[in-house]
């Protein structure tokens, strides 16, 4: 099949063909999607996110849709924490670049992409304001989802059920 590399992965992340069909129609060959979210794809996403703070660009660098990463962040507390750490790294880098640019004379031949200062400052202010609000326990905290591993949720529920069973037993 054209576009498939030696590793079995090619354009569009197609890895092989599969035969599909249903009771009311004939069998047909169809390209099987190879969009499994590997550790390498997660790492590529997080690396680019730390560099750019841009989810769409980061997902593109990993060869996966951005929706896949948003769903993963919602489901996986560890990945959600890594996402936040990558964003914090990216914002710290942006802040450092803005400071460096403010302290040096602009050199048109230094090979760096120009920074939209107004946009960068608005983004940093927004991030800083959300962090302050979250630390106060005020605005912004209710809009953030706390990522908790399923095992932790199940353990908390079991503790509550044990307490409830003791109360029922004591009252009977």
Summarize pLDDT for 97-111 with one digit per residue, the tens. Answer: 877 776 665 555 666
Residue 10 makes CB contacts below 8 A (sequence gap 6+) with 1, 2, 3, 4
Q: What is the pLDDT of residue 94?
A: 82
Summarize pLDDT for 79-98 with one digit per residue, the tens. Answer: 999 999 999 898 888 888 87
Tell me the two tokens of residue 158: 């079991």
Summarize pLDDT for 7-42 with one digit per residue, the tens. Answer: 333 334 434 556 666 667 777 766 555 557 899 999
Q: What is the pLDDT of residue 59?
A: 94
Q: How many helices (H) and strands (E) does the chain have?
A: 6, 2
Summarize pLDDT for 37-77 with one digit per residue, the tens. Answer: 899 999 999 999 999 889 999 999 999 999 999 999 999 99
- Provide mean pLDDT across the span 126-143: 56
Q: How does DSSP classify residue 11?
A: G
Q: Which residue has the higher pLDDT, 119 or 151?
A: 151
Residue 2 makes CB contacts below 8 A (sequence gap 6+) with 10
- Provide mean pLDDT across the span 146-157: 82
CB 37 within 8 A of CB 44: no
Asked whether the predicted pLDDT for residue 142 surpasses 50, the reply is no
Q: What is the pLDDT of residue 153?
A: 85
d(CA 14, CA 7): 11
Summarize pLDDT for 55-65 with one digit per residue, the tens. Answer: 999 999 999 99
d(CA 7, CA 58): 22
């Amino acid at each position: 099949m054209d576009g498939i590399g030696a590793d079995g992965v090619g354009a569009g992340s197609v890895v092989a063909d599969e035969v599909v069909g249903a009771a009311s129609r004939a069998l047909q060959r169809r390209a099987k999607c190879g969009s499994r979210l590997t550790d390498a794809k997660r790492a590529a996403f997080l690396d680019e996110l730390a560099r750019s703070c841009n989810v769409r660009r980061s997902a593109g660098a990993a060869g996966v849709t951005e929706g896949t990463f948003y769903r993963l962040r919602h489901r996986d507390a560890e990945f959600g924490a890594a996402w936040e750490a990558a964003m914090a790294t990216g914002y710290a880098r942006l802040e450092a670049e803005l400071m460096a640019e403010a302290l040096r004379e602009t050199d048109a031949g230094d090979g760096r992409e120009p920074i939209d200062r107004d946009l960068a400052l608005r983004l940093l202010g927004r991030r800083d304001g959300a962090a302050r609000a979250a630390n106060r326990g005020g605005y912004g905290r209710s809009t953030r989802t706390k990522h908790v591993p399923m095992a932790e949720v199940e353990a908390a529920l079991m503790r509550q059920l044990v307490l409830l069973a003791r109360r029922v037993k004591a009252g009977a």
